Amino acid sequence: MTVKGWLGLGLVLGASHAQGMANEPTEHAVKVDGHYRPQRVEPAPHRGVDYLFDLAWDSKYVSEGRRELDRGGIFWAGTGVQWDDLLPFAGVGRGDTEHYIEWNFGLEYGFSLTDSVEASVGYERIEIYGDERDDDNELLAALGYSRWDKFEPALTYHYSTGADGHFVELSIHSHWSLTEQIVVSPYVLQAFDYGFVNEDYRGANHLQLGVEAEWALSEAEWALSGRI
């Protein structure tokens, strides 16, 4: 079974980070494995509902230790609605070289365990159209610890009903603000596979090092327009 996506969540996390810079956030977004992963997102202080949109491109599609596409990268587009602690989301990925289309639909619920520990649980339905047809259901959970300014440990968990397997990622991000708007975050991640990717494999899956950079745009700079 192939899996992945979290585009909807990507929106949330990216937006969360931006909100943070503008509104003194209580936490940072965390991205793992080149994709955004679930983390609690505080509702905007002035509104109960946020509408989130996201566009992305990756040079390769590597997910949970699998390279999903032999050639080329993948475009992603997603949307979600942050309503208090609930986040219904939808996303679509399309290979830029190979014939591959993946739809993700899901719902996430975020909550705080303590002042410094945020958690989320969610469900995601995955539909894949391409040279091969596939689908899957995933249960997801995430924990993040935000007490330290410079180091942010996180844990993400996936369970695939199709594979009947588990996948766990432990990561530590370090956030460095170069300016008020630009944050650079190197990270280290260790993943573990328990029958999620390989039916017969149990143990360490891959070690990952990465760096992420985000530039938060101010409110007034944005304008979306449409015309019929």
Partner 1 sequence: MGVVGGRVGVVGAHLSTMWAQGSIKDEARLVGDQVKDESLFGVMMSIAL
Nearer to partner 1 by C-beta: 63 or 120?
Answer: 63
CB neighbour list of residue 158: distance below 8 Å, 6 or more residues apart: 3, 64, 138, 139, 140, 166, 167, 168, 196
The single residue among 31, 40, 173, 175 that binds partner 1, judged by CB under 8 A, is: 31
Residue 119 β-bridge partners: 111, 143
- Using the contact rule CB under 8 A, the part of the chain among 95-103, 143-151, 169-177, 213-221 near partner 1 is 213-221
- If one counts every other C-beta atom within 10 angstroms of the C-beta of residue 92, the result is 17
Site string for partner 1, 184-203 (x = CB under 8 A): -----x-x-x---xx--x-x
Token output for 77: 């587009």
The continuous run of DSSP H or E covering 19 comes out as helix 7-23
Angstrom distance (rounded) from CA 109 to CA 53: 18
Asked if 33 is part of the footprint of partner 1 (rule: CB under 8 A), the reply reads yes
CB of 114 to partner 1, least distance (A): 26
Asked if 42 is part of the footprint of partner 1 (rule: CB under 8 A), the reply reads no
Asked if 65 is part of the footprint of partner 1 (rule: CB under 8 A), the reply reads yes
Nearest to 3 by CA among 172, 143, 156, 110: 156
Asked if 44 is part of the footprint of partner 1 (rule: CB under 8 A), the reply reads yes
Which residues would be at the binding site for partner 1 (CB under 8 A)? Answer: 10-11, 13-15, 17-19, 22, 31, 33-34, 36, 44, 50-60, 62, 65-67, 70, 73, 76, 82, 189, 191, 193, 197-198, 201, 203-217, 219-228
